[in-house]
Structure 1
């Protein structure tokens, strides 16, 4: 029996990207059973566009911009109370190919043939020019070397974390684990949420499920962001390091990864950028976000 799937899209002031995303969802070879849009208080006419052009889409407008983290927190709180087998999480700039969802469902079937029931599946993200998107490369699950070898033959890769750009989460996992930590607001909340599920659960990258992630550039937008925004990047990375979503190996990875991001930021901003990095990093260790229950 084919699994039932709810697509959840979070948006803010990008109605043209959202329009393209919704058209992609409605054009899937494997139909989406329901589409839910969480709008972070957009002021660009998003509400009217959805009402006029996509009356079949369920639309929820938040009273204020809670960021991507708050949007997915709110959306998953709704979705996990509904009767669907899987929840397909997407950014508004993540545009699936017509067969993306079908490939994810096929990947689920291949995982079950391996004798494994996944909690989470990811699509392979590509940029506008078709190359693999550097921001969307998930970390392989090195704790399972034998499964890595077996899964490769089935065009699957066991993974340790992933992004919201195209993340299929089982309803069982959505109900079992806490909601995304809304205090992250922007950046890295998806890594923490998926990492928390996959610390004890199981997830796969489905290599032949392609989704175009239409970011402005193929690298982290945080590098060239404002100081106010990069403060969140630095703080949230400290939260990642101290999160129980990752063990010692994962924490070491995020420390080294963060060092690389901070050095890239300093190349752009010069040494005057060190203040924001230090402020966010130290704040993240001093004051962790509230626990989700």
Structure 2
């Protein structure tokens, strides 16, 4: 199978021009050739001017969303835009994702080994110190040890993140787009599980490595929330609300588990939060109440507006 020139790398960025420039440098150094789409979530830090040298490259397309749509809205916009272009495969990442030269080629090799029969592939994400990036550890499939579910540097998974995430356009046509109404947090979790429920053939490619240049290697967002104030503090609402929507897709047992975990967070706030303890508890309560009735629509190509 020859996938040459059919791969479009998609990078969603917002106010991180230096990281974006480094990411683009890595993308244009890949052993396996790909074109690049940069979706700028209406940055205010001079991103377009900062990457002006890359804009002269005919292999790069730059588009501004016109408003900050959040991470979820940015990836929704990106896949919608990309699907109108002439590519069969999409390679998705945040602007702080740094793929080494063989990252894409190893994803392509995995796709070929699978005879192109897969829902999605994801890379093994490491933090800057070489250890696994905790927020990007995928959820391993319950039957990962059966048959061919682990072979040739592949391990079967059912959830991943948008940090070096590879899929076919036909999958987007089948399952729809990421939910833009999530705004931030959980959109990749929901989307990858939506795919794995449909196809049941999703894998982490262990020899496809990326470095995720986060500020710190933390798992989850609750610890960060405990020390935040202002607008960043308020955004934790989306995490709680979206988590309940995802749980509701799995059934009552998962909702109960999520509720117990979230109520535990609520009770821990007075003891662990550095400030604004009551306000933080109100944010969590708002997320719970809204999450129980949050029913965003899934957009499909051709119907997305």
Q: Give the TM-score of the pair, scaled to structure 2.
A: 0.85
Instruction: Answer with 279-288 or 67-76: which moved more.
Output: 279-288
**Deviation sequence 1:56-96 (CA, Å, 0-9, x none):** 22000111100111111011011122222210000001111
- Superposed, which structure 2 residues align to 1:250-265 within 5 Å? none
Per mean C-alpha deviation after superposition, the further-off stretch among 34-43 and 100-109 is 100-109
Relative to structure 1, the CA distance from residue 258 to residue 208 in structure 2 (aligned partners, 3 Å threshold; closer, same or farther) is farther
- 1:156 corresponds, among 149, 154, 157, to 154
Change (3 A) 1:189 1:263: farther
Q: Which residue of 2 aligns with 1:186?
A: 184
Residue of structure 1 equivalent to 2:129 = 129
**In the superposition, relative to structure 1, how do residues 282 and 105 fare at CA in structure 2: closer, same or farther (>3 Å)?**
same
Report matched runs for 1:3-152 at 5 Å.
Answer: 3=3, 4-32=6-34, 34-56=35-57, 57-112=60-115, 117-143=117-143, 145-147=145-147, 150-152=148-150
Tell which deviates more after alignment, 77-86 or 59-68: 77-86
Task: Give the conservation status (yes or no) of the 8 Å contact 1:223–1:261.
Answer: no
CA drift of 1:100 comes to 0.5
Name which of 235, 238, 242 aligns with 2:248: 242
What does the per-residue CA deviation read over 1:95-137, in whole Å, with 9 as the maximum and x for residues that have no partner? Answer: 111111011111222323xxx7102000000001000111111
* Alignment check: 8 A CA contact 1:73 1:181 kept: yes
SS in 2 for 1:237: helix
Q: Distance in 2 between matches of 1:101 and 1:139?
A: 21
Q: CA deviation at 1:28?
A: 0.5
Query: After the TM superposition, which of the residue ranges 89-98 and 257-266 deviates more from structure 2?
Result: 257-266
Q: Is contact 2:154-2:203 (8 Å) kept?
A: yes
Aligned length: 285
Inter-CA distance 47–152: structure 2 relative to 1 (3 Å threshold): same
Tell me, which stretches of 5 or more residues in structure 2 are unaligned? 226-231, 301-305
Decide whether aligned partners of structure 1 residues 135 and 261 sit closer, same or farther in structure 2, where only a CA change above 3 A counts.
farther
CA separation in 2, counterparts of 1:153 and 1:117? 15
Give the whole-Å Cα distance in 2 for the aligned partners of 1:145 and 1:260: 33
Q: 1:151: how far off? A: 3.3
Which residue matches 1:269? 273
TM-score of the superposed pair, with normalisation by structure 1: 0.89
Q: In structure 1, what is the Cα distance between the partners aligned to 2:9 and 2:85?
A: 12
> Would the alpha carbon gap of residues 266 and 76 (structure 1) be closer, same or farther in structure 2, given more than 3 Å must change?
farther
SS in 2 for 1:169: strand
Unaligned runs of 5+ in 1: none
Q: Rate the CA distance shift 1:291–1:110 in 2: closer, same or farther, 3 A.
A: closer
Alpha-carbon separation, structure 2, partners of 1:232 and 1:205 = 27
